[in-house]
Structure 1
Amino acid sequence: MQPEIFEYHFTVPKSAIDDMDHVNNVVYLQWVQDVAKKHWESKTDIKLRNTYVWVVLNHFIEYHHPTFENDKITLQTWIDNHRGVKSERHTKIINSTTQQVLVSAKTSWCLLYKETLRPARITDEISTLFF
């Protein structure tokens, strides 16, 4: 079964630009985390969000092409697989005009119980929301 791809569109703000006049590497990483959160919030209700939280175990990010102020971009993200308490999420940052992939990322996440911050197995209730 193919995972559903979640998309978020926006225009690059001046605040994302560094001294080299393109998007700073740290900003891309923030966008990777932001789109993951937006995806989670779009698929879950308040009860699930009050029960669970996600923490990053690691990020692997590749910078393919620079991005500039006022570029229109699309963030795409999806869950590739999950097992136990861990999930692998992929993200692409794409220039909306040229369709050129600017950044690709793979992030390993761990699901935790929000109250105790202890690992929580990913239930069918959660996994079916994303596949």
Structure 2
Amino acid sequence: MSWDLANPFVIDLSVSADDIDGLGHANNAVYVSWLERCAWRHSQYLGLDLAEYRRLDRAMAVLRHEIDYLASAYEDQELQMATWIVESDQRLKMDRRFQLVRPEDGMTLLRAKTTFVCIELSSGKPKRMPTEFIEGYGPALQPPFPMEL
């Protein structure tokens, strides 16, 4: 697979009938749900699951999505979504990049960037990242790569 950066965290996706909209392809909102699924699975892989978020009273919440929809996905296609953590101020914000690829032809269907902000779960207000976030997400930090958005 031709990924934009080395060492991606990758999940497999299957396009189901429920993902298809009136235009006959995967709905744009479904792509957003795939971004969230990939980010969450990567977070869990790094040891930062929902139980740990609750214990720390912190979470990484989406502040902004930037998405380039490059090609359509269709029912029954198998896809792969990759993610990389490309920036973190180790205080409040963290950026992820994503790439969605159709392995059968190697086509990139989507590139995206999501900015997350650390919040206190009990109040919903922005709060500094705990040490566990810096240590958990830090080893996955990659250098940024160019992307036109």
TM-score in terms of structure 1 length: 0.87
Aligned partner of 1:96 in structure 2 is 103
Matches within 5 A, 1:26-37: 26-37=29-40
More strand as a share of residues:
1
Q: Partner amino acid for 1:26?
A: A
1:7 to 2:48 alignment: no
Unpaired segments ≥5 residues, structure 1: none
**Structure 2: which amino acid aligns with 1:28?**
Y
Instruction: Name the stretch that deviates more: 35-44 or 113-122.
Output: 113-122
Cα distance between partner residues in 2 of 1:62 and 1:45? 28
Using the alignment, how far apart are the partners of 2:97 and 2:37 within structure 1? 13
Count of aligned positions: 130
For 1:88, the aligned partner's letter is D
Report how far residue 47 of structure 1 moved.
5.0
Rounded to whole Å, the distance in 1 between the matches of 2:92 and 2:100 is 26
**CA–CA separation in structure 2 for the residues paired with 1:82 and 1:35:** 18
Residue identity over aligned pairs, in percent, reads 24
Aligned to 1:85: 92
CA RMSD across the alignment: 2.0
Q: Matches of residues 95-114 of structure 1 in structure 2 within 5 Å? A: 95-114=102-121
1:115 aligns to what SS in structure 2?
coil
What TM-score do the two structures reach when normalised by structure 2?
0.78
Structure-2 residue corresponding to 1:58: 64
